[in-house]
Chain A
Amino acid sequence: MQIARLDGVTKRYGRTEGVRELDLDVGGGEVIGLLGLNGSGKTTLLKLLAGLLFPTSGSVRVLERPARAARADVVYLGEGDALWGWMTPRDAERLFAGLYVDFDAGRFGRLCESLAVPRRTARAMSKGERGRLRLAMALSRSARLYLLDEPLAGIDLLSRERILRSIVQEWHGDETILLSTHEVAEAEGLFERVLYMKEGRVVLDAQAEELRERGRSVVETFREVLS
């Protein structure tokens, strides 16, 4: 089943191009790694799918609708560290329960536990703890498509492992996940499919196990394709 489709999508910011003539099919239940260096177009692609950006040309369809019209079924976790300083996990739960009908409080509780989110205000948390809280919030919605932009960036090793483990535990098999990351080595086992981006294009779209069949890990391929 198809979840999203991009047809000849170009996104230009002034003179620079975020993505160039991108064609892409995303199926239901796929866990996709979006890999590439900074400025390769990963964030632009995720924002286009989230309906947060409009393509300059081409079309972005999610669940057979324009991306913007599908936002209720899509979770987008942006890059960065944005959380209100006063917010505790309990406040976050109240906020999300009011904002999203698909928010699952039980799942949020489980995630806060497995991610070891402390019951403090965000201001009093470490960067890794805030990252884990943001992820718990994002994964507590029951959506069809999860767009996670660098959820492992700038976070300590133990937090990264916790995050990957929680994604495995909470994934039911029919939701689609697109996760961009620089931490390719740690996350590579999670991906079934990997998209390598360079200068706004997908330069390689492969099944991870097929790469390994040929004796090349996802990490090795990263070096080869993007060097």
Chain B
Amino acid sequence: MKLDPRWSLDMNAGPIFVQIAEGVRRRLARGDLAPGDKLPSARDLAADLGVNPNTVVHAYALLEEMDVIETRRGLGTFVRATAPVAAMRTEMLTRAAEAFVGEVRALRVSARDALALAKEMLDADRKA
């Protein structure tokens, strides 16, 4: 099992283990990963990302604590059948919406203009 190699680790954006955990959650929210899928071994993912395997182990431990993944002894690490995918997607969308709203307020643009622009961009995106 290989995850999309396009991870954007940013060494100036906080601990790597948090970024890796966030990357897995993001792939779940997007549907690139699904409940029941197997994750790469910590060593393989570490080699792909060029990071210390302990960092990936640390990220997996965090995801386990969040009930997103589970380790099956001798088999590997899997996304839990009960992983709260919809809740994660909502959480990420909420964060994006908060950033958008914050910027709209800071620019003192009306809600109607802001929403019209957002809608226009989403529609254009769908057509393309």
Contact = CB atoms under 8 A, between A and B. Distances in A.
Contact of A212 (B16, B46, B49, B52): B16
A217 B51 CA distance: 14
A213 B14 contact: yes
A149 to B, nearest CB: 20
B54 A168 contact: no
Contacts of A215: 12-14
Nearest to A171: B53
Contacts of A219: 11
A156 to B, nearest CB: 16
B11 A212 contact: yes
Contacts of A190: 50-52
Contacts of A218: 11
B50 A216 contact: no
A207 to B, nearest CB: 10
A213 B15 contact: yes
B66 interface: no
A220 interface: yes
Interface residues on B, range: 10 to 19
Q: Chain A interface secondary structure, helix, strand, loop or mixed?
A: helix
Interface string A157-183: 000010011001101010000000000
A209 B16 contact: yes
Contacts of A171: 53
Interface in B2-42: 9, 11-17
A192 interface: yes
A14 to B, nearest CB: 39
Contact of B11 (A31, A164, A189, A192): A189
Nearest to B49: A189
Given A165-B47, A168-B47, A189-B9, A173 B15 contact: no
Interface of B: 9, 11-17, 43, 46-47, 49-55, 58
Given A189-B9, A220-B12, 4 more contacts: A168-B43, A168-B52, A212-B12, A216-B12
Interface of A: 31, 161, 164-165, 168-169, 171, 173, 185-186, 188-192, 209, 212-213, 215-220
